[in-house]
């Protein structure tokens, strides 16, 4: 669906939640009449759902925000096994369809990275490809980021994902020179043939909606949408 955007990352800790909140804050500030939806399909442990509920006023239930929730902060197949539960992807899919129909723009934050397991058989990349979700890949600004970007884009192509672009994210304070050395956009684009949509700076307290909206304005929205 063209009104949906999946935010995934190279791995856990890449900054998917921060990028999702920045995009959501920008959207709500500059398109206030538009209906925004946010979805974290599967959550293991506390964190993202609670943050979204505290930051944004959304016309959706907590169950629509996070259809599947597990207590242990582990990969879903492992967390589910500890609770003697199964992972009901049918429920996730039906919730996704409902939110797509009710939202002008729906942000879906994935768990982990593209290669993270969702079930014993499927990864995030598998679902993004099968469900035809336009996707943004979050790459943290750190040593090894170029290799991670190249490997994850290769995985996205293998899964036939509609990858809109790459967002660089500073998970700690960085100077411009460090960003250029660790994640040179031109080199990443040259290797991946995927556009870099922008670089988000580190925020000490990423809960200020005005600051988040300002950070979101750093992205190339024409390519993002």
Listed as own residue / partner, the contacts of 205-208 with beta carbons closer than 8 Å and 24 or more positions apart are 206/18, 206/21, 206/22, 207/51, 207/54, 207/55
Q: Is 49 a catalytic residue?
A: no
d(CA 20, CA 15): 9
From residue 79, give the alpha-carbon distance in Å to each of 84, 85, 112, 114, 142.
9, 9, 14, 18, 29
Of these residues, 16, 29, 40, 82, which one is catalytic?
40
Tokens of residue 102, six digits: 């009710």
Backbone φ and ψ for 186, nearest 5 degrees, come out as -65, -40
| Residue that the structure tokens 């800790």 belong to | 13
List residues with catalytic annotation: 40
């Amino acid at each position: 669906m063209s009104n949906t955007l999946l935010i995934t990352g190279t791995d856990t800790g890449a900054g998917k939640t921060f990028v999702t909140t920045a995009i959501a804050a920008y959207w709500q500030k500059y398109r206030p009449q538009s209906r925004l939806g946010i979805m974290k399909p599967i959550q293991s442990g506390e964190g993202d759902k609670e943050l979204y509920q505290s930051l944004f006023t959304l016309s959706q239930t907590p169950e629509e925000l996070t259809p599947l929730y597990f207590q242990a902060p582990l990969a879903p197949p492992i967390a589910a096994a500890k609770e003697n539960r199964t992972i009901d992807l049918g429920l996730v899919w039906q919730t996704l369809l409902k939110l797509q129909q009710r939202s002008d723009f729906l942000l879906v934050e994935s768990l982990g990275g593209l290669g993270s397991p969702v079930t014993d058989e499927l990864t995030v990349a598998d679902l993004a490809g099968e469900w035809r979700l336009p996707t943004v890949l979050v790459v943290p600004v750190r040593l090894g980021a170029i290799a991670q970007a190249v490997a994850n884009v290769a995985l996205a192509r293998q899964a036939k994902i509609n990858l809109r672009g790459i967002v660089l994210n500073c998970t700690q304070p960085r100077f411009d020179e460090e960003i250029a050395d660790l994640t040179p956009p031109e080199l990443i684009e040259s290797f991946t043939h995927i556009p870099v949509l922008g670089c988000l700076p580190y925020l000490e307290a990423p809960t200020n909606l005005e600051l988040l909206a300002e950070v979101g304005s750093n992205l190339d929205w024409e390519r993002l949408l």
